[in-house]
Chain A
Amino acid sequence: MASEMVLSKRLKNPGGAWFDAYVADGGYAAAKKVLTAMTPAQVIDEINKANLRGLGGAGFPTGKKWSFIPKDSPKPKYLVVNADEGEPGTFKDRYLLERDPHALIEGMLIAAYSIGCHKAYVYIRGEYIEPYRRFVRAIEEARKKGWIGEAVQGKWDWEVTVHRGAGAYICGEETALLSSLEGGKGFPRLKPPFPAISGLFASPTIVNNVETLCCVPPIIRNGAEWFAKIGTPKQGGTRLFSLSGHVEKPGLYEAPVSVTLRQLIEQQGGGVRGGKKLKAVVPGGISAKILTAAEIDVAMDFDSLTAAGTMAGSAGVIVMDESTCMVKALLTAAKFFAHESCGQCSPCREGPGRLYKIIQRVAAGQGRRQDLDVLLAVAGNMEGKTICVFADAAAWPIQSYIRKFRSEFEHHVETGTCELGHAYAHH
């Protein structure tokens, strides 16, 4: 697939992560340009024109988000980088942190300048030990080379603090992340107020994903038009797709956002493992509604996948072949959500645990006729009724797996066995 590389160009360079190699590849030229020749408004305008969308999964237009920072607020403004990559099936930010940390630092600097921020935080997933070490090393390099600290390019004071998470998936939700960063329990916050008005330490805050910020230097270097042209009319650029599951060549692949799911699986991933038939694909991390083999001719941009009834999410593509038991697959997803609900809102505290228990029974051959309807009802009752979208994310796999593979679930309930021969030893 011939395409422009925006993010992955440097990921394979041995030693390419460090400062000299980054500069040799044109690194920090964008930051220099921004600090010496552009106003914050011009930068935000450029990001808007590039159609850069939030690549953590929500797809909110980045330039628009930056423009929400109130200009007249006497409070400090914060930039917080969401590097709490925890969506199952997703491992893109890990590569960026490990292999191109300066791209993130440069993107952060540009963002900080654009929103008037002098203090940035990077919240890194606790389990990401190596990415943390390498990113911190890059931070030290950048500080030594004058890209972090006082009067960067004679123009901008800023500092960066790197914070490690403690293992909760919910801290990837931006307001839970802020609660956690402040030292509190990782509980998502009621909105409004939105972080841009009252975020970290009750001050205006922009939370951006690692990949989103890594797109910023190339946009400044090559122009908004160049970036916008790579994608669709509403979403510019490329994405890093984390391809996993039953494909010949699982791994991280960059492609324009207009790539289809079929292209990703068949061309990038080398097709389904062992020549088996494709059964289902999760297109955007475990939360996204599952697609059947017949539904993969869909472009991977935010709007196309939403139109297809699922979501682009974190671009974590999980491929399942014909040998996959959907009950077992759902059991795995349900277990995850039962374990990770923060427990704040009643529906999401009690719902996922109950769903998991029911699926456990079904998987163990102790399903009851009414179980599938109870699963759908409970999932439906959680959806859209909570502070954050975790409950929705926990409901979607339940709803989509059962609706699209109902006969398989019914077989489990009625016969107590798996037609694919999977055996379970729960209970």
Chain B
Amino acid sequence: MSDFYETGPSKPVTESIRVDKVSPKARRMHNIRAIVVVILAILMLIPILVMTQTAFKTRADVVSVPPTIVFKPSLEGFVFLFTERAIAPPGRIKALQEAAETGDLSLFDRVALNSGQEITGLSDYVGRLTNSLIIAGLSTVFAVVLGLFAAYAFSRFPVAGKDDLMFFILSTRMLPAVVVTIPLFIMYRQLGMHDTHIGMILLYTVFNLSLSVWLLKGFIDEIPIEYEEAALVDGYTRMQAFYKIVLPQAITGIAATAVFCLIFAWNEYAFALMLTSDTARTAPPSIATMLGRGGIEWSAIAAGSLGFLIPVAVVVFLLRNYLLRGVTFGAIRQ
């Protein structure tokens, strides 16, 4: 230790760091902390890992105790996910067994042989996922566009009762949304909006609007008003200044807001369960109801969840830079 005070660290310091942070003890502590963080990160990823594994396991592997870590991947779960099946008649199984001895079976035949079920048609998974995409996607677009205009007005114009209005908008978030499910259910049935795309899009737009107005107002407040004023004296109208000057600068905030809205609409379960039954049913309730049908097909549920995860994951990944900048941008204010 005394050695360090005399000669310093063994390697020259070429980073910005306080003196006491380069002592061997501090470096050791730093490494320990780094290891703990990595371990925590791995722990957090375990559920996703298990889900991904399960999606590629066969029925036998899924239920084996202790769980198999190394296994032969199979697409059985995905076949179950995308298809409707019925118990195969015994004659059919026999025929398949004979065919298996003589030559190769198709993927579907193999699954039928292993599970004793025969494929009767396509499942509704793709339809549900499409519903989710349409409803979440459009409601996000509407929430962001409407929110942007409202936020701009709140940020730039002397709206009468501005603070009260902003509070009122936020107050829609102050009770659990589920509380209003029953009234909404009755209302929607009366209006003929039960189980319609338009009904769900409207609902999610309204729910996201408060978040979107608040977030976007924060972002627009950060854009100095001088830019628009410069455009105004340069001979542009307010609207032109808005889309030529404000919009390009607000893009980070818009992206961040869109991601938050999308995630909410994408994951929403309770309303979707109550207010849709078939045409407009989204993926979350539909994956959950897979639990109920006959034997529990864990691999199919895992595969369904994985498929459900991918679109948001892709969006978040594409917008990750905006998201990170957006979140910190709004947060650090003098």
Do A and B come from the same complex?
Answer: no
